[in-house]
């Protein structure tokens, strides 16, 4: 299962625990951190300000990737573009040379493009809206010869069932879901595992990963201590991994 978990988490950076921490574990854990910027349109700032921030993020992403190419492989910067709306705007507002620099990193696996145009509340979308939410991703694959294999939705109540079939038919085999549990009681009622094959009505399947924490969704980094000191981070990582093991989590990768 390790290979499946690595792909569904859009791997970007491998954090290796210290020997002192490893001695406390029942397995050799690997933690894959996924740097990205969540797209809240109009919630954190007016829409023009939000999209301008995302343009600058992508400029910085290209710069950081270029600067770290001489680093050891596990230390090179990587990035995930959460929704294609951000990239659509970037293509309109940057030079062909700047766009090609970014796309070269996508082709090389340093940047991952997730397939959805927005993190939609998919249960309110009709079939046509769901299909069209993947149009731009398909255009990117054809026009720029870039791989797009994963759909990401963050901060919504969940995925509607018809997406399992739609993603498979669109040659998108993986999905990552971090639900907003303040809008849904799914976490308190589900018995689904965190990694499973999601089968559509026609039998097509998508490999789906849902975030581990029942409240923080895509902000799991805060729970794991990534916003604090190294000492606090190590302490929280040990606590989180011990809890996963105690709860019967079957894998050695998160």
Q: Where do the domains of the chain lie, and which CATH numbers do they carry?
A: 1-33+224-254 (no CATH), 37-221 (3.20.110.10)
pTM: 0.85
CA-based nearest residue to 216, from 207, 225, 228: 225
Joined together, the tokens standing for residue 136 give: 């731009």
Q: What value does the mean pLDDT take over residues 225-254?
A: 87
Distance CA 84, CA 54 (A): 11
Give all strands of the β-sheet with 205-210 in edge-to-edge order: 150-156, 174-179, 205-210, 195-199
Q: What is the pLDDT of residues 28-79, one digit of tens each?
A: 998 888 888 888 887 788 888 989 999 999 999 999 999 999 999 988 999 9
Distance CA 195, CA 192 (A): 8
Distance CA 76, CA 67 (A): 9
The larger pLDDT score, comparing residue 184 to residue 225, is at 225
Furthest CA-CA distance within the chain: 53
Distance CA 199, CA 207 (A): 9
Please, are residues 71 and 62 in contact by the beta-carbon 8 Å criterion?
Answer: no
CA-based nearest residue to 10, from 178, 224, 192: 178
Q: What is the pLDDT of residue 184?
A: 67
CA-based nearest residue to 165, from 121, 211, 127: 127
- Asked if pLDDT for residue 13 goes beyond 50, the answer is no
Per the rule left: phi > 0, alpha: psi between -120 and 50, beta: everything else, 181 is: alpha
The larger pLDDT score, comparing residue 102 to residue 119, is at 102
């Amino acid at each position: 299962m390790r290979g499946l978990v690595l792909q569904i988490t859009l791997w970007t950076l491998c954090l290796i625990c210290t020997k002192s921490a490893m001695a406390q574990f029942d397995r050799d854990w690997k933690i894959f951190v996924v740097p990205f910027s969540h797209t809240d349109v109009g919630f954190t700032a007016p829409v023009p300000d939000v999209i301008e921030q995302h343009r600058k993020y992508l400029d910085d992403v290209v710069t950081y990737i270029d600067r770290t190419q001489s680093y050891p492989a596990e230390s090179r910067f990587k990035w995930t573009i959460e929704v294609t709306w951000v990239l659509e705007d970037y293509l309109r507002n940057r030079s062909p040379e700047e766009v090609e620099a970014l796309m070269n990193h996508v082709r090389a696996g340093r940047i991952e493009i997730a397939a959805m145009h927005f993190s939609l509340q998919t249960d309110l979308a009709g079939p046509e809206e769901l299909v069209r939410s993947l149009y731009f991703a398909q255009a990117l694959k054809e026009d720029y010869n870039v791989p797009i294999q994963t759909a990401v939705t963050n901060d919504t109540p969940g995925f509607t069932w018809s997406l399992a079939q739609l993603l498979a038919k669109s040659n998108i085999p993986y999905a990552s879901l971090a639900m907003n549990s303040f809008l849904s009681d799914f976490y308190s009622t589900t018995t689904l595992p965190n990694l499973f094959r999601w089968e559509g009505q026609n039998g097509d399947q998508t490999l789906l990963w849902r975030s581990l924490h029942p409240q923080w969704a895509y902000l799991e980094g805060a729970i794991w201590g990534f916003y604090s000191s190294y000492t606090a981070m190590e302490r929280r990582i040990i606590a989180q991994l011990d809890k996963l093991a105690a709860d019967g989590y079957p894998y050695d990768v998160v």
